Chains A and B, each alone.
Chain A
Amino acid sequence: MLPKLTRYTRPESLEEALKLLREPGSAPLAGGTQFLAAANPDIEQVVDLQALDWRRIEVAPGWLRLGSLATLAELAQAEALSGPAGGLLRQAARRAGPNTFRNAATLGGLVGARLPVSELLAALLALGAELELAGEAPETVALDAYLDEPRGLIAAVRLPWPQAGAGGAHAIGRTPADTPIVHVTAWAGADGTRLAAGGVGARVARLARAEQALAQGVEAAVSAAAALEPPGDFRGSAEYRRAMLGVLLRRVLRDCGVKD
């Protein structure tokens, strides 16, 4: 329940949305899959973004632009997403939750929810995603920076496109479609290899130290990752998560063809 919620608004324009969002106690609402269950007791106004024209998935020269209101189901089916990079994204979107959830959840909401595990967020991080923030002065921030420090309204997620390279993603769960205990995604592209993982920290994040150590080989990357201090819970202890990070790192790097 959202006890203080008294206003529902559905702005038709960005300006209106920004104005409403500046009012105290306001929050943007996308698919609602996380919003209602999380039931933040301080929210007084929801600003439903659905009327904004932010749903398109389009390829521009050098860029892939995913509108923040595109649903995960739309992403999973998007024809524009071709090649290994497209496959990595679509597969991650397909594996996100059951279909009821994919049909409703949006990319903007996915980022806004800042979950500790999400294979799709990891794929976006590995592919070097940036966010277009809407505001008086539109700006672009790297996805990992936003996850560390969220601010502003996400209009779109942007990726350099097309990307040549190879990717890999592995996850461990109690059942095949369970929320992963640990997951790792790798993308070996022209500008190097990017690694991202969930279940090993407060949020899905790039494995910066492992990426750097990769120059010394796969095992060096694995050792660097072992310095992380994952949280433990009923799905898996810190010790298990740390060990699995290593196992999955080796697997994703093998999938990408990164040799020792």
Chain B
Amino acid sequence: MDIQLTLNGERLTWAVGPRERLLDVLRREGCFSVKHGCETGECGACAVLLDGQLAATCTLLAAQADGHALETVEALSRPGQPLHVIQQAYVDTGAIQCGYCTPAMVMATLALLRRNPDPSEAEARDALSGVLCRCTGYVKPVLAALRAARAMRGEALPPIDFGQGHEAPPGLFGGRPGGGAPSQADEPATPRGDGASTLLARVIPDLLIRAEGRKSVGQSEPKKDALKLVKGTPSFTADMEQRGLLHGKLLTSPHAHARIRHIDTRAAEALPGVHAVITYRNVPRVFYASGGQSYPNPQPWDQLSFDTKVRYVGDRVAAVAAETPEIAQRALALIEVDYEVLPAVFDPEAAMQPGAPMVHDEPDAIGILDARRNLVCHIDALVGDMAEGFAAADHLFAREYRVHQVQQTPIEPHVVTTWWDGDERLNVLTATQVPFHVRRMLAPLVGLPARRIRVIKPRIGGGFGVKQEMLIEDVCAHLTIATGRPVKLEYTREEEFRSSRSRHPQIIRYRAGVKNDGTLTALDMRVIGNTGAYGTHGLTVQTCTGLRGLSTYNCPSRRFDCDVVYTNLPAPGAYRGYGAPQAHFATESLMDEIAAELGLDNLELRRRNWVKIGDALPMGGQLGEGAGAIPTVLSSGLEQCVAQGMAAIGWHRKFDPAWRAAPGQPHKRRGLGVAICMHGTAIPGLDMGAASVKLNDDGSFNLLVGATDLGTGSDTVLSQIAAEVLGVPSEDVLIYSSDTDLTPFDTGAYASSTTYISGTAVKKACEEVRGQIFKVAAEILKLDSTEGLRLGGRQVWAPDGQSVSLERVALHATHVHNQHQIMASASYVSPECPPPFAAQFVEVEVDTETGVIEVKKIVMAVDCGVAVNPATASGQVEGGMLQALGYGLCEEMAYDDEGRLLTTRFGDYRIFAAHEMPEVQVILVETEEPSGPFGAKAVAEIPLDGAAAALANALYDATGVRVRQIPLTPERVWQALRAAEARRSPVEESEAA
């Protein structure tokens, strides 16, 4: 049927099918700003203005739009035109991270400001409530909306204060001192969680003498890729079109554990429009581990592209390539699979028992420790003597903590396109954090030499670790090889929930020996890690749990002992934090439990034990992936972090009984909680980054990096580092990342390594280029030596005050004399792994009748070394805390008894939306890390570490009840409160019984 509509002011007639969704039609017609993030109207990535109102297009039939007017972000500024003030505000405030949600956010803001030119913060939050963002924590998008409002009202815009140590001006941020209650007068639907957020504060402790005269490093420069992201220009994998494209689709297992007796694909193959059906029968049997990790990939290698057995609900069975997604879907239904259903096991302790179902009984898998007991591997490490340590203690503690499975949920699902290029090389365009690992790992699976594969990473709509996997690239590649055609494979949200990766659930058993004064004498940590159906990342995540659990505090005797176990759950993998959030929940809960029992101040106990500058981190020698050297702490702002965090949260209120009871609400209790976090920066001796820099003949530079910007802003930060060394504004640095044909190698975006490792590589390459520039400049300036030359303002300056422009240097070198290309490359591997530190604080109000925890405020003070870009650094912390809150409170992959995932859509799997976030405050405590580029260390993962424990500690502070299992859902808290009540009044209880 034909529909007529107005799109961005233009009257159009489109032919659409009766089943087609508006989202698909808009994208087909070239409106690529409209993004796919789900199929249920719950993420908002596809939202446009329909007759001026924000509406999701994935739950509208295209036909419903007949006769209506649509507006998308494409209308706000055409290519080459200046940005709309709303777009400009998003760029200026640093509100864009991966940018996948940005077009919808911008349109939501436009709809708001058209009807309400002077919105309150609560109204801005409501306007953005339909657009989920996994990156920003909404702090800066809300700021952008309010700033855009000012601009549209024609008011002068104040400069954005990215932290000179004071707060944002009142008004701009709602400015409610102390975070009091909002006025109730007809506020929009921000019923229960409406908080103002204070803009970034930066603290530069006096121990740091800031290097004078830095121009680029330390500035909150706008993101390099902001323009295309805010305009919605096609930049993501799914936006790239290919002639003759086929659509791939995966058939997955309905059973948690089954053998495939027989599979009949004839009917599917016969369906018109189907070009290939692949199963274990026509794909080579090559074992691999899907985790994108350095060579040689850690074992076990227990995965196959397709196997004769399925090991979780959602495991691969077959794949189809067809002319349309719909035909592919119909073909799946025609594949007949004869399953022999096997008993399944979901509990890791049961899985280790004799007689438990064997998840991996295939004889040819490689590197499984004890498949009969479902044991993937065993990890242990020991420092000192445990018996001695416990003997020296005055008190012994034994506690068990349990952490659950959560998902990364980037708004862009996994998506990949593969095709043969003219040279008959397999091109793989993919949303990956690890393009180089993907090429190396893919080659044996598809039987091509790696040189015949090219992996290209375009913009990525967030990853958070789930894209540190070669998750579906092999399937897509097999389909292209089978059909000779370009194939796109894109997960639906349900597939993303069912058949991707997640965070490892664990059982953590701590035994601690402590002296009367709180000094730790022994820490014994036993972990059972549930790695689900496959061992990917199983060894290394659990190793990191031990490392992080046993490094924050000095202690003479420490032991880590861990079993990593198979079950019939979807395999977890890498998730931002990588074993550390699990460890921190246990360790930081334990510290509070010890303090409470010994009657010590919980911060004083920690301070007594935490590592200080110069302290060794002995577990690092045993539980590192890299070389075995023992790292030491070279920089730490932890003391400052705690002091700043205490002030920001109002820690003194903890000791004020009047504050702790909510007036007029006897069932409400208030409390404050803290957790100390320490993370790593990169894997020492293993993570490697490289960069190449080339001077162009106009004085600009091409910077090619293998580092994988997945929305974090690493392209921006690396450009700033280059600009600083090269003495140019960072707009002169044209950065490109990452493509296995064009850019140097990089291990990829994980392990908090990019700024530190790739940043150092960039710095080294630029220093090398600087030397080459000096030589040419000396020639032009007729100097005898390059001594004393320096770069600045696009010029080379001689000590005598003469200067020559970079453009002239470049022209000279390429055209005039002794012609050569000024160019260098460098790589970097670090022997160090400098820990960033942080103090996490939360304020809660607990409803003791319902168990509901209302988070009022969340504060993190982070020592990330020198913040190369404070806006992106704080953005990392804000967004990380949103995920960490979810981990502690509400996010959970829930299963039925048969191992079927129940939480397969947003809404059921709850992530915080803009209108329910508590007040968020980030403080950057900047120290100078001697080993880092310009003093930087990592910031990406530490925001995930502390919130869950801080919440549990705040719950205890408020109610006296300790909960050792997350998430702290209303029911779990209520059950704990009830159990405590029963213990307090055993008599009544027995009477009642």
> Within the complex, which residue of B39, B131, B189 is in contact with A100, where a contact is CB–CB below 8 Å?
B131
CA distance A178 to B891 in the complex (A): 11
CA distance A238 to B658 in the complex (A): 36
> Within the complex, which residue of A104, A235, A236, A248 is in contact with B59, where a contact is CB–CB below 8 Å?
A104
Decide if B53 is an interface residue (CB 8 Å cutoff).
yes
Q: Given the known inter-chain contacts A100-B47, A100-B130, please indicate yes or no for A177 contacting B916, CB distance below 8 A.
A: yes
Interface size class of A (residues with CB under 8 A): 35 or more
Q: Flag the segment in B546-554, B585-593, B966-974 that touches A.
A: B966-974
Decide if A63 is an interface residue (CB 8 Å cutoff).
no
Q: Given the known inter-chain contacts A32-B60, A103-B55, A177-B129, please indicate yes or no for A95 contacting B189, CB distance below 8 A.
A: yes
Q: Given the known inter-chain contacts A6-B18, A95-B191, A98-B44, please indicate yes or no for A46 contacting B61, CB distance below 8 A.
A: yes
Q: Given the known inter-chain contacts A73-B53, A104-B59, A174-B890, please indicate yes or no for A2 contacting B19, CB distance below 8 A.
A: yes
Decide if A164 is an interface residue (CB 8 Å cutoff).
no
| Most chain B beta-carbon contacts within 10 A, residue among A29, A46, A94, A98 | A98
A50 touches B54 (CB 8 A): no
Decide if A1 is an interface residue (CB 8 Å cutoff).
yes
Decide if B823 is an interface residue (CB 8 Å cutoff).
no
Closest-by-CB residue of B relative to A43 is: B19
> Within the complex, which residue of B18, B41, B64, B890 is in contact with A175, where a contact is CB–CB below 8 Å?
B890
> Within the complex, which residue of A101, A174, A244 is in contact with B889, where a contact is CB–CB below 8 Å?
A174
What are the residues of chain A within 8 A of B192 when measuring CB–CB? 176-177
B326 touches A94 (CB 8 A): no
Decide if B850 is an interface residue (CB 8 Å cutoff).
yes
Tell me how far the C-beta of A34 lies from the nearest C-beta in chain B, rounded to whole angstroms. 8
Decide if A33 is an interface residue (CB 8 Å cutoff).
yes
B interface secondary structure, majority: loop
Interface string of B153-192 (1 = CB under 8 A from A): 0000000000000000000000000000000000011111
What are the residues of chain A within 8 A of B969 when measuring CB–CB? 174, 235-236
What are the residues of chain A within 8 A of B910 when measuring CB–CB? 174-175, 178
Tell me how far the C-beta of A41 lies from the nearest C-beta in chain B, rounded to whole angstroms. 10
What are the residues of chain A within 8 A of B58 when measuring CB–CB? 36
What are the residues of chain A within 8 A of B283 when measuring CB–CB? none
What are the residues of chain B within 8 A of A6 when measuring CB–CB? 18-19
B41 touches A94 (CB 8 A): no
Q: Given the known inter-chain contacts A99-B129, A176-B192, A244-B850, please indicate yes or no for A236 contacting B971, CB distance below 8 A.
A: yes
> Within the complex, which residue of A8, A35, A104, A234 is in contact with B18, where a contact is CB–CB below 8 Å?
A8
CA distance A225 to B905 in the complex (A): 31
What are the residues of chain A within 8 A of B64 when measuring CB–CB? 29, 32, 48, 50
B60 touches A104 (CB 8 A): yes
Q: Given the known inter-chain contacts A37-B39, A179-B907, A237-B971, please indicate yes or no for A247 contacting B61, CB distance below 8 A.
A: no
A176 touches B189 (CB 8 A): no
What are the residues of chain B within 8 A of A240 when measuring CB–CB? 970-971, 974-975
B60 touches A36 (CB 8 A): yes
Tell me how far the C-beta of B989 lies from the nearest C-beta in chain A, rounded to whole angstroms. 16
What are the residues of chain A within 8 A of B907 when measuring CB–CB? 179
Decide if A202 is an interface residue (CB 8 Å cutoff).
no
CA distance A32 to B22 in the complex (A): 12
B971 touches A37 (CB 8 A): no
Decide if B993 is an interface residue (CB 8 Å cutoff).
no
Closest-by-CB residue of A relative to B905 is: A37
Decide if B902 is an interface residue (CB 8 Å cutoff).
yes
| Most chain A beta-carbon contacts within 10 A, residue among B1, B41, B915, B974 | B41
CA distance A76 to B21 in the complex (A): 27
Interface string of B527-545 (1 = CB under 8 A from A): 0000000000000000000
> Within the complex, which residue of B44, B326, B915 is in contact with A177, where a contact is CB–CB below 8 Å?
B915
CA distance A175 to B968 in the complex (A): 11
A1 touches B329 (CB 8 A): yes
Q: Given the known inter-chain contacts A37-B59, A98-B129, A177-B916, please indicate yes or no for A7 contacting B894, CB distance below 8 A.
A: no
B193 touches A176 (CB 8 A): yes
CA distance A99 to B125 in the complex (A): 10
Q: Given the known inter-chain contacts A172-B850, A234-B903, please indicate yes or no for A37 contacting B53, CB distance below 8 A.
A: no
CA distance A233 to B892 in the complex (A): 13
Tell me how far the C-beta of A151 lies from the nearest C-beta in chain B, rounded to whole angstroms. 25
CA distance A8 to B17 in the complex (A): 9
> Within the complex, which residue of A1, A5, A32, A236 is in contact with B970, where a contact is CB–CB below 8 Å?
A236
What are the residues of chain B within 8 A of A37 when measuring CB–CB? 39-41, 59, 905
A176 touches B61 (CB 8 A): no
CA distance A240 to B59 in the complex (A): 33
Q: Given the known inter-chain contacts A104-B59, A177-B129, please indicate yes or no for A3 contacting B330, CB distance below 8 A.
A: yes
A98 touches B915 (CB 8 A): yes
Decide if B361 is an interface residue (CB 8 Å cutoff).
no
Decide if A10 is an interface residue (CB 8 Å cutoff).
yes
| Most chain B beta-carbon contacts within 10 A, residue among A3, A37, A174, A247 | A174
A32 touches B854 (CB 8 A): no
Tell me how far the C-beta of A89 lies from the nearest C-beta in chain B, rounded to whole angstroms. 13
B56 touches A233 (CB 8 A): no
Decide if B241 is an interface residue (CB 8 Å cutoff).
no
CA distance A173 to B971 in the complex (A): 10
What are the residues of chain B within 8 A of A102 when measuring CB–CB? 189
Q: Given the known inter-chain contacts A36-B60, A37-B41, A175-B889, please indicate yes or no for A104 contacting B913, CB distance below 8 A.
A: no
Decide if A124 is an interface residue (CB 8 Å cutoff).
no
What are the residues of chain B within 8 A of A235 when measuring CB–CB? 969
Decide if B843 is an interface residue (CB 8 Å cutoff).
no
Decide if A181 is an interface residue (CB 8 Å cutoff).
yes
Decide if A145 is an interface residue (CB 8 Å cutoff).
no
What are the residues of chain B within 8 A of A172 when measuring CB–CB? 850, 852, 970
Decide if B143 is an interface residue (CB 8 Å cutoff).
no
Q: Given the known inter-chain contacts A172-B970, A175-B910, A177-B913, please indicate yes or no for A234 contacting B55, CB distance below 8 A.
A: no
> Within the complex, which residue of A1, A95, A100 is in contact with B55, where a contact is CB–CB below 8 Å?
A100
CA distance A106 to B379 in the complex (A): 56
Decide if A78 is an interface residue (CB 8 Å cutoff).
no
Tell me how far the C-beta of A97 lies from the nearest C-beta in chain B, rounded to whole angstroms. 8
Decide if B912 is an interface residue (CB 8 Å cutoff).
yes
CA distance A32 to B50 in the complex (A): 14
Q: Given the known inter-chain contacts A175-B889, A234-B892, A240-B971, please indicate yes or no for A8 contacting B63, CB distance below 8 A.
A: yes
Decide if A215 is an interface residue (CB 8 Å cutoff).
no
> Within the complex, which residue of B54, B889, B890, B971 is in contact with A99, where a contact is CB–CB below 8 Å?
B54
Decide if A208 is an interface residue (CB 8 Å cutoff).
no
Interface string of A183-201 (1 = CB under 8 A from B): 0000000000000000000
B19 touches A176 (CB 8 A): no
CA distance A73 to B51 in the complex (A): 14
CA distance A181 to B908 in the complex (A): 11
Decide if A243 is an interface residue (CB 8 Å cutoff).
yes
What are the residues of chain B within 8 A of A244 when measuring CB–CB? 850, 974
CA distance A168 to B605 in the complex (A): 46
Tell me how far the C-beta of A165 lies from the nearest C-beta in chain B, rounded to whole angstroms. 20
Decide if B66 is an interface residue (CB 8 Å cutoff).
yes
What are the residues of chain A within 8 A of B878 when measuring CB–CB? none
CA distance A10 to B67 in the complex (A): 11
B19 touches A5 (CB 8 A): yes
**Chain B 39-91 interface residues, beta-carbon cutoff 8 Å to A:** 39-41, 44, 47, 50, 53-56, 58-61, 63-64, 66
Q: Given the known inter-chain contacts A2-B19, A178-B910, please indicate yes or no for A94 contacting B188, CB distance below 8 A.
A: yes
Tell me how far the C-beta of A37 lies from the nearest C-beta in chain B, rounded to whole angstroms. 4
Can you list 26 A-B contacts (CB < 8 A)? A1-B329, A6-B18, A10-B66, A32-B59, A32-B60, A32-B64, A36-B58, A99-B126, A100-B44, A100-B129, A103-B55, A172-B852, A173-B852, A173-B970, A174-B890, A174-B970, A176-B192, A177-B916, A178-B916, A181-B970, A234-B892, A236-B969, A240-B971, A244-B850, A244-B974, A248-B850
| Residues of B participating in the A interface, judged by any CB pair closer than 8 Å | 1, 18-19, 21, 39-41, 44, 47, 50, 53-56, 58-61, 63-64, 66, 108, 126-127, 129-131, 188-193, 326, 329-330, 849-850, 852, 854, 889-890, 892, 894, 902-903, 905, 907-908, 910, 912-913, 915-916, 967, 969-971, 974-975
**Shortest 8 CB-CB contacts between residues of A and residues of B:** A100-B130, A176-B192, A234-B894, A176-B193, A98-B130, A94-B189, A174-B890, A98-B129
